[in-house]
Amino acid sequence: MSNVYVKDISHYNKLDIYRILALYEVKDPCIQHAVKKLLCAGLRNGKKPLQQDYEEAIESIKRALEMIAEDSVV
């Protein structure tokens, strides 16, 4: 039985956020943005504070939910 939380990365020399998103098959651009914000929250040399990154991740997730609702109104 495979564990969906564990990926074999032994054949990679390095990982970046984009590889992680691909490995976990994150297709929604809003969720991709939120994951990127969360993984790098507060780490971009003072460009944005930690709290702002968290807030932007939340906004991206809210937008993903809005889009789901929009798509269900057919």
Please tell me whether residue 72 adopts helix, strand or coil conformation: helix
CA distance 30 to 70: 14
CA distance 39 to 20: 10
pLDDT number for residue 44: 78
Please tell me whether residue 34 adopts helix, strand or coil conformation: helix
Helix (H) or strand (E) holding 37: helix 29-39
Per-residue pLDDT of the chain (74 residues; tens, 9 = 90+): 468 899 999 999 999 999 999 999 999 999 999 999 999 999 877 688 999 999 999 999 999 999 999 999 86
Question: In the chain, where are the structural domains located?
Answer: 17-72
**pTM reported for the whole predicted model:** 0.85
